[in-house]
Structure 1
Amino acid sequence: MANFFKAKIKEKTCNQRLTVSVEKLDINGVGVGRWQNKPVFIAGALPHEVVEVKIIEQKSKYARAKLISITKQSDNRVEPLCQHFGVCGGCDLQMLVIDEQLIFKQNKVSDLFSRFFSTQGIAKKIEGKDLPWQAPIKSSPWHYRRKARIGVQFDKKSHATIGFRQKATNQLAAIKSCPVLVEPLNVIFPLLKKLLAQLTVQSAIGHIEVIQADIVETIFAEQRQKDDHVVLVIRQLKPMNKTDIELWQSYARKYRWQVIIDDGNKQLPLVSTKDENSAVLSYSLADKSKIYFASSDFIQINHQINNAMIDQALAWLNLSPSDNVLDLFCGLGNFSLALAKHAKLVVGVEGVQVMVEKASHNARVNELDNCQFYQADLNSNWLLDSWAKAQVFDKVLLDPARAGAEQAVSQIAKLHIPSVLYVSCDPATLARDSAILIAQGYKLEKISLMDMFAQTKHVETMVLFTL
């Protein structure tokens, strides 16, 4: 009987409308107020606003509500630029003025540091609010993203929806344009929808990845050495027939796309003959170095921020011609090549052998002979068990994935490398790993935000530690 009673209460309260004062944003950029002595989370609401909401989820410790209207509006609210904002799950903060987005992200990092440090017993050494913040690295908040995955879903009649996932669901929002994508990626959606409607093999595409890249050589002879080319990677679930191949070719020629087919096992160009070669993709660094990559490789999606990030890394590390530098999670050599132009030796380490080979290739074609690249499991005791233990490194740079670098920083501390520059895309794992370094005698010298993902909740951070 008690369970039935609770269900009735939940049903009644879940449709309840109420007025809520919003106190703050949570770490996901969702407004937080109070109702019945517990937090109520309201997507789209901003601090210091009074809003009308409808309860949509009721739990014992919290509730979620849908924003209905704003009675008192924040001075920091702006009109979202994107027509799909609020439905598309790609952006979280378009309603918040850009400078306040940066403050929100900085506070998010500071709060996570304070929480994690207090649980580790090192709160007396540093508080999140006392972090030595430097000026953030910023770029244009619009038209910055040069790589994205566009979802494709087909209904029972094989009609395609093309776009990005909606919030908290696997369903797609039908997108007409996306103002965070670079030109001309932002207006490619209607063209793709028109093309897919003409395919004879229906429901055959899983997704389409779009990339803006420099092209060394394309299927179009007249466009060799062209910059800012559009590359499409088509995840093909069924083989294409001749008619569909010709359709893709016609669109590729008309709009100057480079089309690559991904069958789940390999990626091959749609057109590959003796006279029509597939593209070699690259991007340029600020120092004119070229990074060559394949369509399946990870690259930093914000070109401006990437260049500024590398420049700041060089400035903070203050390299000298006698320095030996260790570059962990080096990828394609995005940092390694720039470091090598200012140091005696750069040793890059990656977990995947193919990436080691690509980084080595990038060093060679940029005529750098003071780079060495190795494959190793950076989540193991590689640094302490290998030849690296016998090397003398003056400085180390690490740029791990979201999982962070817990094992690597523990070993760095034991090797007593004097300077550590940590580039992070997840503030929670950054706080965890920072606590390890500080507990081992490192000082947090500098920290700054890098607004790699404007309009979203995602945070990129750079931190300098010295022993």
Structure 2
Amino acid sequence: MANFFKATVKPQTCNQRLTVSIEKLDINGVGVARWQNKPVFIAGALPNEVVDVKIIEQKSKYARAKLIAIGKQSEHRVEPQCQHFGVCGGCDLQMLDITEQLRFKQDKVSELFSRFFSSQDNVVKVDGKDLPWQAPIKSSPWHYRRKARIGVQFDKKSHATIGFRQKSTNQLAAIKSCPVLVEPLNDIFPLLKKLLAQLTVKSAIGHIEVIQADILEKHLPELRQKDKQVVLVIRQLKPMNATDIELWQSYAQQYGWHVIIDDGNQQVRLAGSKENSSAVFSYTLADKNKIYFASSDFIQINHQVNNAMISQALAWLNILPSDKVLDLFCGLGNFSLALAKYAKLLVGVEGVQVMVDKASHNAQVNGLDNCQFYQADLNSHWLLASWANGQVFDKVLLDPARAGAEQAVSQIAKLQIPSVLYVSCDPATLARDSAILIAHGYKLEKISLIDMFAQTKHVETMVLFTHSI
């Protein structure tokens, strides 16, 4: 059978220059205008601006354009603080005043609620504009991120590019500094580039993870009293030789880095002797609880927001000494330990056994003996599990991943737990899961933004539901 191929013809409208007025931001923080009776998406443009653009993609239902110049500027436009903004894919909204960023995120949640509930026939209708919004949880919009993965790419001559992915590509933007990273992580890029240029084993690093953490290390007593160490986890693709080990050690000593080598099978601290001691990383919560973790574990990256988020969870749930509390998707125990301080019993459930073990350890070392932790697939039917069957819980907190907690909230609704606190990192799945609770008689009492990732489009939310039995 013969195959016939047509040459791809670029539409005549591509590269066309035009002037448009921006009506709004879409849910990704991209400016939207109208042209030829369809939306045109323009990254970097803000509502009420008149801009000159060039069409770069033309589809039957929409077009995309590149921002060329701004004629009429929004009163909410500010100068981006990062020299790499617009190239690096990490931030979306640095050109927008932080107050308006919060307004955009709140409107995004409201819009997704309205969209979802208007498309449902069997649930109580909810107007996103009428949600009971509370004050947002926020921190400084700069120097808040305490953990990040820095990409490393090598060219044919083994010259390294160090940074973060460019927008919409797998290529890296060469980064010199990052103002959303905590100090001194924000200025570590030139040091790493200089170090990598001196390595004798070329093209040997996949990425470098940087973490700010407290460190307790038995074999290094001088570190015991030091807070907020810089930890580097080096993903090593080829074995290091003695020369490169010495180079890493020299930089680590000079700049106070704690360096861990990850060869894909194990992580080993780069030490001056053959004896490699193991470090314990931790962060301290506002209530003095300490959360111990490994470099590969998930932690909340914004320390200030995390503390405020836990405090608000306690205030909204109003834990009583007689309460039995269920913490689903409990992770390392970030919420669990704070809840347990005030409750009669805390039952934490997580899908990964390693995390269950670490949550149990964190409760133990913080002197909490009213905690029980279990492993379970929370996306399955778990009502007959030993920790749920026959147990009467007064309150439940859940903090799922982006996929949400559809199965979990369905079973919470069957248990008719009086108070449900949902911490969400995806407003679309939050709207879906909220519909399940509301359809089962729950009332949405309070909702607030959690601005964990200032300068980006990402939205986290806390919602309190109550049920009258």
Query: Normalising to structure 2: TM-score of the pair?
Result: 0.96
State the match for 2:235 in structure 1: 235
Provide the rounded CA distance (Å) in 1 between the counterparts of 2:294 and 2:272.
16
Provide the rounded CA distance (Å) in 1 between the counterparts of 2:448 and 2:176.
35
Given that 1:214 and 1:281 are in contact with CA atoms closer than 8 Å, whether structure 2 keeps it comes out as yes
State the match for 1:422 in structure 2: 422
State the match for 1:308 in structure 2: 308
Given that 2:124 and 2:438 are in contact with CA atoms closer than 8 Å, whether structure 1 keeps it comes out as no
State the match for 1:437 in structure 2: 437
* Per-residue deviation, residues 124-160 of structure 1 (Å, max 9, x unmatched): 5421111000000111000000000000000000000
Give 1:225 deviation, angstroms. Answer: 2.4
Partner of 2:71, secondary structure, is strand
State the match for 1:380 in structure 2: 380
Given that 2:93 and 2:456 are in contact with CA atoms closer than 8 Å, whether structure 1 keeps it comes out as yes
Provide the rounded CA distance (Å) in 2 between the counterparts of 1:175 and 1:382.
46
RMSD: 1.5
1:205 and 2:205 correspond: yes
Change beyond 3 A, Cα 1:367–1:276: same
Greater Cα shift, 10-19 or 129-138: 10-19
Partner of 1:421, secondary structure, is strand
Give 1:261 deviation, angstroms. Answer: 1.1
Give 1:445 deviation, angstroms. Answer: 0.3
Instruction: Give the ranges of 4+ consecutive aligned residues of structure 1 lying more than 6 Å apart after TM superposition.
Output: none
Give 1:112 deviation, angstroms. Answer: 0.4
Change beyond 3 A, Cα 1:411–1:229: same
Greater Cα shift, 230-239 or 215-224: 215-224
Give 1:118 deviation, angstroms. Answer: 1.3
Change beyond 3 A, Cα 1:387–1:211: closer
What one-letter code is carried by the residue in structure 2 that aligns with 1:50? V
Provide the rounded CA distance (Å) in 1 between the counterparts of 2:221 and 2:398.
40
Give ranges in structure 1 of 5+ residues lacking alignment: none
State the match for 2:61 in structure 1: 61
What one-letter code is carried by the residue in structure 1 that aligns with 2:271? V
Change beyond 3 A, Cα 1:198–1:236: same
Partner of 1:389, secondary structure, is coil
Query: What percent of counterpart residues are identical?
Result: 84
Aligned runs of 1:316-335 on 2, under 5 Å?
316-335=316-335
Give 1:220 deviation, angstroms. Answer: 5.0
Given that 2:374 and 2:387 are in contact with CA atoms closer than 8 Å, whether structure 1 keeps it comes out as no
1:43 and 2:43 correspond: yes
Provide the rounded CA distance (Å) in 1 between the counterparts of 2:175 and 2:135.
35
State the match for 2:151 in structure 1: 151
Provide the rounded CA distance (Å) in 1 between the counterparts of 2:87 and 2:285.
35
Given that 1:410 and 1:437 are in contact with CA atoms closer than 8 Å, whether structure 2 keeps it comes out as yes
Give 1:385 deviation, angstroms. Answer: 4.6
State the match for 2:364 in structure 1: 364
Give 1:268 deviation, angstroms. Answer: 1.8
Partner of 2:161, secondary structure, is strand
State the match for 1:354 in structure 2: 354
* Per-residue deviation, residues 322-364 of structure 1 (Å, max 9, x unmatched): 0000000000000000000010000000000010100000001
Provide the rounded CA distance (Å) in 2 between the counterparts of 1:120 and 1:219.
60
Provide the rounded CA distance (Å) in 2 between the counterparts of 1:265 and 1:330.
26
Greater Cα shift, 275-284 or 172-181: 275-284
* Per-residue deviation, residues 418-444 of structure 1 (Å, max 9, x unmatched): 110000000011111001100111000
Given that 1:399 and 1:424 are in contact with CA atoms closer than 8 Å, whether structure 2 keeps it comes out as yes
Given that 1:212 and 1:229 are in contact with CA atoms closer than 8 Å, whether structure 2 keeps it comes out as yes
Given that 1:19 and 1:52 are in contact with CA atoms closer than 8 Å, whether structure 2 keeps it comes out as yes
What one-letter code is carried by the residue in structure 2 that aligns with 1:429? T
State the match for 1:88 in structure 2: 88
Provide the rounded CA distance (Å) in 2 between the counterparts of 1:358 and 1:52.
54
State the match for 1:172 in structure 2: 172
Query: Normalising to structure 1: TM-score of the pair?
Result: 0.97
Given that 2:283 and 2:292 are in contact with CA atoms closer than 8 Å, whether structure 1 keeps it comes out as yes
Given that 2:87 and 2:173 are in contact with CA atoms closer than 8 Å, whether structure 1 keeps it comes out as yes
* Per-residue deviation, residues 274-328 of structure 1 (Å, max 9, x unmatched): 8763321000000011000000000000000000000000000001000000000
State the match for 1:21 in structure 2: 21
Residue correspondences, number:
463
What one-letter code is carried by the residue in structure 2 that aligns with 1:403? A
State the match for 1:108 in structure 2: 108
Partner of 1:463, secondary structure, is strand
Provide the rounded CA distance (Å) in 2 between the counterparts of 1:426 and 1:85.
24
State the match for 2:260 in structure 1: 260
Give 1:415 deviation, angstroms. Answer: 0.7
What one-letter code is carried by the residue in structure 1 that aligns with 2:460? E
Given that 1:21 and 1:50 are in contact with CA atoms closer than 8 Å, whether structure 2 keeps it comes out as yes
Give 1:386 deviation, angstroms. Answer: 4.0
What one-letter code is carried by the residue in structure 2 that aligns with 1:71? G
Aligned runs of 1:208-223 on 2, under 5 Å?
208-217=208-217, 221-223=221-223
Structure (1/2) with the larger helix percentage? 1
Greater Cα shift, 115-124 or 235-244: 115-124
Given that 1:219 and 1:271 are in contact with CA atoms closer than 8 Å, whether structure 2 keeps it comes out as no
Provide the rounded CA distance (Å) in 1 between the counterparts of 2:62 and 2:44.
17
Provide the rounded CA distance (Å) in 1 between the counterparts of 2:112 and 2:426.
11
Given that 1:219 and 1:276 are in contact with CA atoms closer than 8 Å, whether structure 2 keeps it comes out as no
Provide the rounded CA distance (Å) in 2 between the counterparts of 1:121 and 1:246.
66
State the match for 1:78 in structure 2: 78
* Per-residue deviation, residues 351-408 of structure 1 (Å, max 9, x unmatched): 0001010000000100000001000111100134544121010000000011110000
What one-letter code is carried by the residue in structure 1 that aligns with 2:148? A
Give ranges in structure 2 of 5+ residues lacking alignment: none
Change beyond 3 A, Cα 1:207–1:304: same
Provide the rounded CA distance (Å) in 2 between the counterparts of 1:184 and 1:238.
28
Provide the rounded CA distance (Å) in 2 between the counterparts of 1:262 and 1:321.
45
* Per-residue deviation, residues 224-262 of structure 1 (Å, max 9, x unmatched): 221111000111111111111111111111111111111
Greater Cα shift, 117-126 or 251-260: 117-126
* Per-residue deviation, residues 152-184 of structure 1 (Å, max 9, x unmatched): 000000000000000000000000000000000
Given that 2:329 and 2:348 are in contact with CA atoms closer than 8 Å, whether structure 1 keeps it comes out as yes
* Per-residue deviation, residues 176-232 of structure 1 (Å, max 9, x unmatched): 000000000000000000000000110010100000001112875423221111000
Given that 1:384 and 1:411 are in contact with CA atoms closer than 8 Å, whether structure 2 keeps it comes out as no
Provide the rounded CA distance (Å) in 2 between the counterparts of 1:117 and 1:389.
32
What one-letter code is carried by the residue in structure 1 that aligns with 2:51? V
Provide the rounded CA distance (Å) in 2 between the counterparts of 1:178 and 1:218.
33
State the match for 1:287 in structure 2: 287
1:450 and 2:422 correspond: no
Partner of 1:13, secondary structure, is coil
Given that 1:151 and 1:206 are in contact with CA atoms closer than 8 Å, whether structure 2 keeps it comes out as yes
Partner of 1:226, secondary structure, is coil
State the match for 1:192 in structure 2: 192
State the match for 1:344 in structure 2: 344
What one-letter code is carried by the residue in structure 1 that aligns with 2:174? A
Provide the rounded CA distance (Å) in 2 between the counterparts of 1:403 and 1:290.
28
State the match for 1:389 in structure 2: 389
